[in-house]
Amino acid sequence: MLGGQKRCPNRPLTLSLTCATRAVRLRISSLFGFSQFYARRTAVEHKRLPVFGNKRVPVTVPNGYGPYLYNPKTEGVARDGSKKPSGIICCIPHPNRCPGRCGDCFFQGDGKDEATRSYLSPNGDPLEDHLPNMPTLEQVGRQVVRVNDGGDSSDNQALVLARTAMFPLRFYNTSMVFGTNLADFGEPVVLTLNPSGMTYRRIHVVDPVPPNLMFVRLRVTTWNLHLVDQAVEHYTARGIPVVLTFMAFYTTKPVEAYADDYVWSQRTTNSYWVIKPEAWQRVMDRYRANSLVYSCGIRSNVHACSACGNCLREFWRTYRQLHG
């Protein structure tokens, strides 16, 4: 593990240094750069942006990309302004919005004004003004990089792999809607099983599962549990954890027959129709006997990554399987 006395797993020369010298290597990497993308950004001084309420105010920079915007879930910013870092930092390598356009996406949205509620649009400006959203190696430090917290890593996979290759510890998010082979990522990958139009209809069924499949996640409501049942049966039988991401609604409302399961409340930075604690508990109890089923967040109303641990736990499990 980072900071320990053991040597890192056998990797190419740039990744075979001892863990104790990782920080030095990262700083050297950031000085010399590993791609034209980072070369274009050397003139930009990346600093945390001033916070006004829940909004981060960007500054004008010469390269047109703007400064890096921290995801409030992974950065660990509480409502009272205190911070508890999660050990994860996010990036989006794409210059364009995610083509998946999943409804009520926390990261990019799909409604006429939903996108302006994203942390990537701190002043209601177009999301594209802040894409790509890429941290520097100095900002990453020893954290694990979650690639495409808002986006799909199968969209132009070659670009994604090229722009993230410099991060020693990374995993990829994808919904596989572009037909990419999961094994081609070469590093741990998280697969969303029911993106966009599949949310209530069907799931991706992968068999055999590749060794780099870190876990699968579902967009969950109290009326699509038949899909959760199918996913739990298929993937946990193959040793793959299933993480339930409970959907929140803004541009639409919950289905009327299940409206009593939801309440209007703040979630991270904005207000949505979110699942009630008793409904959340009812769903989790449904899978209590299966130790490979988890919730994204530890309770219905606690979503900070620092309080969860699913991604880090499964990243290190998969990373060690891949690299020894």
285: Cβ contacts below 8 Å, ≥ 6 apart: none
Higher pLDDT: 312 or 72? It is: 312
158-167 pLDDT, tens digit per residue, is 999 999 999 9
DSSP string, 76-113: TB-TTS-B---SEEEEB--SS--TT--TT-TTT--STT
Mean pLDDT of the chain: 76
CB atoms within 10 A of CB 135: 19
Q: What is the mean pLDDT of residues 71-97?
A: 77
Q: How many CA atoms lie within 13 A of 13 on its CB side?
A: 0
Provide the strand spans (E) within 3-72: 51-52, 55-56
- Cα separations in angstroms, 120 against 40, 75, 136, 190, 303: 21, 14, 17, 22, 18
- What are the DSSP calls for 303-324, one per residue? --GGGT-HHHHHHHHHHHHHH-
Domain borders along the chain are 25-323
Q: How large is the average pLDDT for residues 174-190?
A: 87
What are the angstrom distances between the C-alpha of 92 and each of 31, 41, 101, 152? 21, 15, 15, 9
Percentages (nearest 5) of helix, strand, coil residues in the chain: 30, 20, 50
Q: How far is the C-alpha of 17 from the C-alpha of 24, rounded, in Å?
A: 10
Question: Which pLDDT score is estimated for 91?
Answer: 92
CA distances to 24, 40, 113, 186 from 172, rounded to whole Å, are: 25, 24, 28, 10
Give the pLDDT band (50/70/90) at residue 103: low
Q: What's the pTM?
A: 0.75
pLDDT tens, residue by residue, 258-310:
999 999 977 666 667 889 999 999 999 999 999 999 999 887 777 678 778 99
How does residue 30 score in pLDDT terms, banded at 50, 70 and 90? very low
Whether 147 contacts 153, CB under 8 Å:
yes
| Length in residues, the chain | 324
DSSP-derived letter for residue 208 is S
Band of residue 106 on the pLDDT scale cut at 50, 70, 90? low
